[in-house]
Structure 1
Amino acid sequence: MTVPIAIIGAGIAGLSAAGALVKAGHTVHIFEKGKGPGGRMASKRSNAGPLDLGAQYFTARDRRFVAQLQQWQAQGCVAVWAPTLYQAQGGQLRPSPDEQTRWVGAPRMSALTRAMIQDLPAVYGCRVAEVFRGKEYWHLLDAEGESHGPFSHVVCAVPAPQAATLLAAAPKLAAVAAGVKMHPTWAVALGFDKPLQTSMQGCFVQDSPLDWLACDHSKPGRDSSLDTWVLHATSEWSRQHIDLSHEAVTELLYGAFAEIIGCAVPVPTFSLAHRWLYARPASNHEWGALADGDLGLYACGDWCLSGRVEGAWLSGQDAARRLLEHLE
């Protein structure tokens, strides 16, 4: 009997690890608490069409990720987004062009993770609460009390605070994960019947509750009958207002948006708020991935490296490499 490897989390890191392990001839089984793959790369379905409420774009620096990106581009699941960029600071709005190449999933951010998962076996809507060892193999206990297994190894590809709980059987790894601080982010999407009278398509913001705003439907392949915008609050503002209602957050961030954009902003015909409790790590690390090869427990995610999409992918590759090396 071939005992599969469990991957907890179907974001970029988990799917990166899964793909590398399958390529090496192993069987994986993926568990994801959401309704589909993506994690913070997921796109939210809405009355205004799919919206990128999490990762807004990504960049590529590492040659391995660049090579992978070229494959995705050939598959048609990513495209370059070249927005007209601005910077807002102290009430002043000015153009802020740069030479950075920005990539997005096409026709929505989640297209990338859907291409990565393909037909790999996955269970959605399954929140893993505990990872425990049987006589010979690992088993997972979900929040409904159902057991899954057996598994030869377990890769935890979830935010650090959640990984710390799941890694209880490896106290050293759990302690490292528990020491990682992750920032929250409130995200708000707004839709307008008519396009706002601005050339801005993306804006880096300072001195405001917001730190980023983007015209979502300016991204390649987006099809919406509305002029859709996504706003991200700063980590500090999000932390201070973490328990505010979605309606109150939408109203406050709409007000901040109207102050920044430099044109008339009507009442939106559509609005949506989403709270990311673990949006990004507070600082960079250089672990690549966490591993206890003797136990067969691994952890990966953007928090093991740069906090970027590229870091998440590289971390998944590193977790798979360490697991495969231990099997040699």
Structure 2
Amino acid sequence: MNAPIAIIGTGLAGLSAAQTLSAAGLDIQLFDKSRGSGGRMASKRSDAGSLDMGAQYFTARDRRFVEAVQQWQARGWVAEWNPQLYNSHMGQLSPSPDEQTRWVGTPRMSAITRALLGALPVRFSCRITEVFRGEQHWTLQDAEGCSHGPFSSVIIATPAPQATALLAAAPKLASTAASVIMDPTWAVALGFTSALDTPLEGCFVRDNPLDWLARNRSKPGRDTNLDTWVLHASSGWSRQHLDMPKEQVIEHLHGAFAEMIGCAVPEPAFSLAHRWLYARPAGAHQWGALADADLGLYACGDWCLSGRVEGAWLSGQEAARRLLEHRQ
């Protein structure tokens, strides 16, 4: 009887690997430090309904991911989002010529990871701090000092800085993960009682504290009585103001939003800020996944590839493929 496989992290990379391994008949056990699945695809429940504070949408280019997304669409987990898109540069708004297909989870971004998780065994609110190997098996230690195991293999599906510490048993993999720089992002949601007088539903912003904003109600399946907007600050601004109190971040980004949107912006009836410390990798890589197959230790995540939602899913597939290959 083989010991199960541990997967640390229930974002898209971890769940992509979990699905493939489970479909191959292997036992898995998932762990996540948060109260729910999704990682940076998580949605925040709030007084203004459910809000996508992390990943805003995704695109599908790789044939394998396109097929997966088509299956998700058939099951009602995702839908196309066709916003009125704009660019903002030097204070000027102009319609965006970008016509690629954008997808969102329905009725919220986290619907995708929730559906992928299904009935797989998972321990939430369990932060793994150490991964160590005995003679034959792996044991995990959590922040409360509890041990979990034994496991035959471990897949670490967390942002690179968090993965680095958990890869201590494989110094080469740890140093590769340590070389990855991940950028932070401050995200702010604002809700207005009456709809803002603008056709804009999504906007790429340059030369401003902001780099993206989206009108929540323009996404399919969103139900909200407020006109809610999600604003993402640029990586540079977020890094400079990493420890700024949330109230000040809201005030600052609300001001920047009001300045660039080109219509009257009242005080919001609702506001919320969330800091993503490891929002996205600063550069793209071509590793696919990191693996020491003899040890049975793997790492995957968007940081192993393009930094996009698609990259996270493909990286999880690659980690699962290498693990299965080694077991044959």
Matches within 5 A, 1:248-327: 248-327=248-327
Task: Give the Å deviation of 1:305.
Answer: 0.2
Q: What secondary structure sits across from 1:113 in the alignment? A: helix
> Does residue 58 of structure 1 match 2:58?
yes
CA distance in 2, matches of 1:234, 1:267: 23
The aligned counterpart of 2:186 is: 186
CA distance in 1, matches of 2:299, 2:198: 44
The aligned counterpart of 2:16 is: 16
CA distance in 1, matches of 2:217, 2:278: 25
Describe the superposition over 1:38-74 as per-residue Cα deviations: whole angstroms up to 9, x where unpaired. 0000000100011000000000000000000111001
Task: Give the Å deviation of 1:19.
Answer: 0.4
Q: What secondary structure sits across from 2:165 in the alignment? A: helix
Q: What secondary structure sits across from 1:203 in the alignment? A: strand
Matches within 5 A, 1:84-99: 84-99=84-99
CA distance in 2, matches of 1:14, 1:217: 29
Please tell me the root mean square deviation across aligned C-alpha atoms, in Å: 0.6
Task: Give the Å deviation of 1:99.
Answer: 1.6
For the 8 Å contact 1:11–1:41, the answer to whether it is kept is yes
Which consecutive unaligned segments of at least 5 residues does structure 2 have?
A: none
The aligned counterpart of 2:131 is: 131
The aligned counterpart of 2:80 is: 80
AA matched with 2:289: A
For the 8 Å contact 1:202–1:212, the answer to whether it is kept is yes
AA matched with 2:265: V
Q: What secondary structure sits across from 2:46 in the alignment? A: coil
For the 8 Å contact 2:2–2:152, the answer to whether it is kept is no
Describe the superposition over 1:264-285 as per-residue Cα deviations: whole angstroms up to 9, x where unpaired. 0000000000000000000000
Describe the superposition over 1:164-194 as per-residue Cα deviations: whole angstroms up to 9, x where unpaired. 0000000000000000000000000000001
CA distance in 2, matches of 1:316, 1:322: 10
For the 8 Å contact 1:80–1:103, the answer to whether it is kept is yes
Task: Give the Å deviation of 1:96.
Answer: 1.1
The aligned counterpart of 1:207 is: 207
CA distance in 1, matches of 2:2, 2:246: 46
The answer to which of 132-141 and 77-86 deviates more is 132-141
Describe the superposition over 1:75-104 as per-residue Cα deviations: whole angstroms up to 9, x where unpaired. 100000000001111011111132210000
Q: What secondary structure sits across from 2:70 in the alignment? A: helix
For the 8 Å contact 2:129–2:166, the answer to whether it is kept is yes
Task: Give the Å deviation of 1:218.
Answer: 1.2
* TM-score normalised by length of structure 2: 0.99
CA distance in 2, matches of 1:64, 1:232: 29
The aligned counterpart of 2:165 is: 165
CA distance in 2, matches of 1:99, 1:209: 25
CA distance in 2, matches of 1:128, 1:304: 21
AA matched with 1:141: Q
Describe the superposition over 1:195-247 as per-residue Cα deviations: whole angstroms up to 9, x where unpaired. 00000000000110000000012100000110000000000000000000000
AA matched with 2:291: A
AA matched with 1:155: I
Describe the superposition over 1:16-54 as per-residue Cα deviations: whole angstroms up to 9, x where unpaired. 000010111101100011111100000001000110000
For the 8 Å contact 1:84–1:97, the answer to whether it is kept is no
Task: Give the Å deviation of 1:2.
Answer: 3.9
Which consecutive unaligned segments of at least 5 residues does structure 1 have?
A: none
CA distance in 2, matches of 1:82, 1:36: 28
AA matched with 2:278: Y
Matches within 5 A, 1:214-253: 214-253=214-253
Q: Any runs of at least 4 consecutive aligned residues in structure 1 with deviations exceeding 2 A, and if so which?
A: none
Q: What secondary structure sits across from 1:60 in the alignment? A: coil
AA matched with 1:162: Q
Describe the superposition over 1:103-124 as per-residue Cα deviations: whole angstroms up to 9, x where unpaired. 0000000000011010000000
CA distance in 1, matches of 2:148, 2:46: 33
CA distance in 1, matches of 2:313, 2:269: 37
The aligned counterpart of 2:71 is: 71
Matches within 5 A, 1:103-142: 103-142=103-142
